[in-house]
Chain A
Amino acid sequence: MLDLRKDFPILRGTDVVYLDSAATAQRPACVMEAERAFNDERNANPLRGLYAWSMEATEAYERARQTVADFVHARQPEEIVFTRNTTEGLNLIAYTWACTNLRPGDEVLVTVMEHHSNLLPWQMACERTGATLRFLECDQRGVFPEEAMRAAVTERTKLVCMGHVSNVFGRVNPVEKMAELAHSVGALMVCDAAQSAPHIALDVQKLGVDFLVFSGHKLCGPMGIGALWARMELLEDMPPFLRGGEMIEYVTRDSATWAEVPHKFEAGTVNASGAVGLEAAIRYLQTAGLETIESHVNALTERALKGMQALPHVHVIGSENAVEHSGILTFTVDGVHPHDIAAIFDSDRICIRAGHHCAQPLMKHLGVGSTARASIYLYNNEQDVDRFLESLATLRSRMGYGE
C-alpha cells in the first residue's frame, strides 16, 4: 500500500476520513510550499517585466505551462491556456469556437452523463447560433453502446463533447472512439478531463481530441487554476474570450489586435502562484506515479465495493468491477435520503458527497432523485474504507429501521 498520507498536512493527526476527492482533492505540503516560495521570493505581475522579480515570476509561470504541456503531451507549451477551472475552459470553447463557427442546422452532440459544466455552455452556444443540441444516451451501467455512438453522429454534427471519466460512474468513456467518429464527419471533439486527469496519464495525441480541459484542484493542486489544451491551429483562429489587459498587441481608440496564443486567451492578471502550485501537484503525482496511484485506488475501491455489495440495502451505481470506477462509488441506501446518509457519515467524521452531482439529466435518465458518493484517492487507506463500511452498515438502524 502506498503511504502518502503523511504528505498531506490536513490529514495529519486527524481522524477525519476524507472520501470526497472527486469534488476536490487535498493538497500535499509541496504544493503549498511551491506557492509560498513564489509569494515570498518572487511575487510580481508576470508581465515579462523589467525587473528581476517580475522576470522570475514570468519564468515560473511559463515553466508551469511547460509542465502542463508535457503532462497532457501537447506539441508545444503555447497550446496550453491557463484558466480558473474546467468550467471556465469549457465556456471559453463555447463562447469562442462554438459561437463563431456553429450555424443553424448544425448539431452539437453531448452525452447524457455530462457534468452541468459540460452541458450548459453548449446549451448557450446552441441557443445563440441556432444549432441543435443532441444527446448520446448511456445504459443503466454507464456504458455507451457502440451502435448508439455511431447513430448519434450525423453529417450535421459539428462538435462532440464527452467527459473522459464521469463523476457519477467513474468509468473511463470511449473518448478515442468518439473522437474518431466525430472526425469522420468533420466535427471537432471536446474532452472534459476533470475526473480523468487525477487518475489517468493523459495523452491528447493518442486520444485524438481537439480540445481538452481540466481543473488543478482535483489533482491535488490549488483551487482557481486549471488548463485548456487545444490544437494550435484552432487557438489561432479563435477570437478572444475575455478582453482587456495583457491580451493585446496594439490598441487604438476603437480597435485592438490580439497578443499571440496563449496570451490572447489570458486576459487580465493571471493566477501565477496557482500555476506554480499546479506544476508542483503534477510533479507530485508524477513522482508517485499515476499507475502506482491507480493501483492503490483500485485496491481500496475493490475493498469498499465488496463491502458495499455485501450489504442488502446498498446499491452501487455503475460497474460491478472495481477497476471501472476510478475510485468513484456512487450509491443509494433503501429508505434513506442521500442527504441524510451524508449527515450520518458526517457525524462519524467521514466526508462524502450527496445530491445530484451536477448531473441532473443523468439522474433523471437513471431514474434516481439523488445519490450519495464516496470517492477514493491516493491518500486514503484501508482504515478509511473500513470506517466507511462500518458506518454504512449501521446507517439504516440509526434511521429507525429495525433489522
Chain B
Amino acid sequence: MENRSFYNEVLTEHNMRPDFKHDLPDANLVLEGVNPSCGDDIYLKLKVEGDTIVDGAFVGDGCAISQASADIMLGMIVGLPKDEALHLADCFIRMIKGTASEEEIEELDEAGALRDISHMPARVKCAVLGWHTLEEIFKNPEKARPKAD
C-alpha cells in the first residue's frame, strides 16, 4: 500500500484550477448528477448543435476526484460528436471498473490519470459522476432541456 498515486498533479491541478467550472448561459442540455456517498453534486451543462458538443461546463461542488474528473472530461469532449464522447465515457467507466484494455486507456489520454481509482471502491462513484451524467443526458435529452420559464 505505497503512497497511492491518484492525488497526482493532474488531479490536484484540475481540482484547484478547473478550466470548465463556470456557468454556461446558452447551454441547451443541463443535468444534475449526485453522488450521495461523498455528497458530490454537479450540474453538467452542454451546448449541442446537431450532433456535436460545441461547448460545455459544470457547476456545483464535491470532492477533488469528482471535480477533477468532470473538468478533464469536458476538456476532452468539447468539440466532439456525441457518439465519440459517449465512446470515451464507456471507456472511462470501464477503466474505473478495471475492465478497459490498455489501448482504450490510452485513448482516454489525460483522464487515464484517474485509473488508480479502480483500486478504491469507495471513490468509484466520485470518479464516474461527470461521465455518468454525460451518459444520462444523451440517454434522455428531454429531461435535460432547460425549462423555459
Interface residues of A, Cβ cutoff 8 Å to B: 336-340, 343-344, 346-347, 349, 355-356, 369-370, 398-401
16 contacts between A and B (CB under 8 A): A336-B64, A337-B63, A339-B122, A339-B123, A343-B4, A343-B120, A347-B1, A347-B3, A355-B37, A369-B61, A370-B39, A399-B7, A399-B15, A400-B9, A400-B13, A400-B16
Contact pick for B65, options A340, A369, A398, A401, CB 8 Å: A340
Interface residues of B, Cβ cutoff 8 Å to A: 1, 3-4, 6-7, 9, 12-13, 15-16, 37-39, 61-65, 120, 122-123, 126
Contact B65 A347 (CB under 8 A): no
Residues of A close to B62: CB separation below 8 A: 337
Contact A339 B63 (CB under 8 A): yes
Residues of B close to A370: CB separation below 8 A: 38-39
A331 to B12 Cα, complex, angstroms: 21
Closest to B41 in A: A369
A10 to B102 Cα, complex, angstroms: 38
**Distance of A80 from chain B, by nearest CB (Å):** 36
Q: A347-B3, A398-B7 are in contact. Are A339 and B38 (CB under 8 A)?
A: yes
Contact pick for A337, options B16, B64, B120, CB 8 Å: B64
Contact B1 A344 (CB under 8 A): no
Contact A339 B1 (CB under 8 A): no
A337 to B120 Cα, complex, angstroms: 16
Contact B37 A340 (CB under 8 A): no
Contact B39 A340 (CB under 8 A): no
Contact B64 A349 (CB under 8 A): no
A192 to B63 Cα, complex, angstroms: 32
Closest to B12 in A: A400
Q: A344-B7, A347-B4, A399-B7 are in contact. Are A337 and B12 (CB under 8 A)?
A: no
A401 to B64 Cα, complex, angstroms: 13
A399 to B14 Cα, complex, angstroms: 11
Contact A339 B126 (CB under 8 A): yes
Closest to A368 in B: B39
Residues of B close to A355: CB separation below 8 A: 37-39
**Distance of A91 from chain B, by nearest CB (Å):** 22
Contact A340 B7 (CB under 8 A): yes
